[in-house]
Amino acid sequence: MKKTVIQGTGRYLPERLVTNDDLSKMMDTSDEWIRQRTGIEQRYWVPDHLEIGPSDLGAEAAGIALEKAGWKPSDIDLIIFATLSPDLYFPGSGCLLQHKLGLTTTPALDIRQQCTGFFYGLATADAFIKSGQANRILFVGAEIHSRGLDKTSEGRDVTVIFGDGGGAICLEGIETDESVGILASALHAQGEFARTLMIEAPTFRHSPFIDEELLRQGRHWPKMDGRAVFKHAVKRLPEVAAEVLEKAGLKIQDIDL
């Protein structure tokens, strides 16, 4: 039976270290306030003066993953790129990454699944491999949140959480009867909660899709109902964890980490 296994991983962080104390100089917050509510001590942001996109961070991470896997870029059958902060509105960051890797016709697709991008990307790669559509897949997730955050006291609940960075994994299909690789996936979506965590603009529901009024209202900044998101997460995550364990034929006692 063909199983999807990870052959190499890579990660990349930009050079700018931003501490909680740094944020306290931008907005009404403190190191203690952030630590108590999030456990976060620091994050990395791309330098303001450089024109850098997530495909650049992804390319750095991909190079590390490819080296660990012993692959050349030409070994890649498919690129999957997960991001909510793309380099451009279109084309996708996956296509930009493809070019940065020196490839010409290798298929590349973007997925926009926000915080769940890693899970959806893994499941998508697994499906491509098990269906025979691809055997070696480069899956990259990269974000540049820092340039889309409200760095005033109005946006502190969201801004203190997010950093920039890129990660990559090389996935390959191998024939084995051993219990290895991706054993099971469980994907869900609940659109009814869309407004608890969203960025409303730019939006093609509005004509023009961005204007001074939308900017004045701050509708281009991420908005989050933190209490609602937390309450829903602590309910649903254990349920989905139990679901995927059952699919894999495992019990919670079987898990080491």
Residues 48 and 85 in one domain: yes
Residues 31 and 135 in one domain: yes
pLDDT at 154: 95
pLDDT digits (tens, 9 = 90+) for 120-130: 999 999 999 99
Task: Determine the residue type at 219.
Answer: R
pLDDT digits (tens, 9 = 90+) for 174-202: 999 888 999 999 999 999 999 999 999 99
Whether 25 maps to a domain, the answer reads: yes
> How many domains does the chain fold into?
2
pLDDT digits (tens, 9 = 90+) for 132-182: 999 999 999 999 999 999 999 999 999 999 999 999 999 999 999 888 999
Residues 236 and 140 in one domain: no
Task: Determine the residue type at 226.
Answer: G
Helix/strand/coil (H, E, C) string of 13-38?
Answer: CCCEEEEHHHHHCCCCCCHHHHHHHH
What does the angle CA 154 – CA 224 – CA 28 come to, to the nearest 5 degrees?
A: 25
Read off the DSSP letter of residue 210: S
What does the angle CA 55 – CA 56 – CA 57 come to, to the nearest 5 degrees?
A: 90
pLDDT at 179: 87
- The whole-angstrom separation of Cα 117 and Cα 114 is 5
> Is the pLDDT reported for residue 1 higher than 90?
no
β pairing state of 136-144 and 164-175: antiparallel
Residues 172, 8: contact at Cβ < 8 Å? no
Residues 106 and 212 in one domain: no
Burial class (CB in 10 A: 0-12, 13-18, 19+), 216: exposed
Return the CATH number at 211: 3.40.47.10
pLDDT at 104: 98
Residues 169 and 200 in one domain: no
pLDDT digits (tens, 9 = 90+) for 36-81: 999 999 999 999 999 999 999 999 999 999 999 999 999 999 999 9
Burial class (CB in 10 A: 0-12, 13-18, 19+), 49: exposed
Residues 41 and 162 in one domain: yes
Please name every residue paired with 142 in a beta bridge, in sequence order, or none if there are none.
166
20: domain range? 2-175
State pTM to two decimals: 0.95
Predicted confidence band of residue 106 (pLDDT cuts 50, 70, 90): very high
Residues 20, 35: contact at Cβ < 8 Å? yes
Whether 180 maps to a domain, the answer reads: no
Residues 164 and 197 in one domain: no
Residues 212 and 169 in one domain: no
Whether 185 maps to a domain, the answer reads: no
Q: What is the mean pLDDT of residues 80-96?
A: 98
Percent over 90 (pLDDT), the chain: 98
Last residue of a domain, one of 121, 146, 175: 175
Residues 37 and 125 in one domain: yes
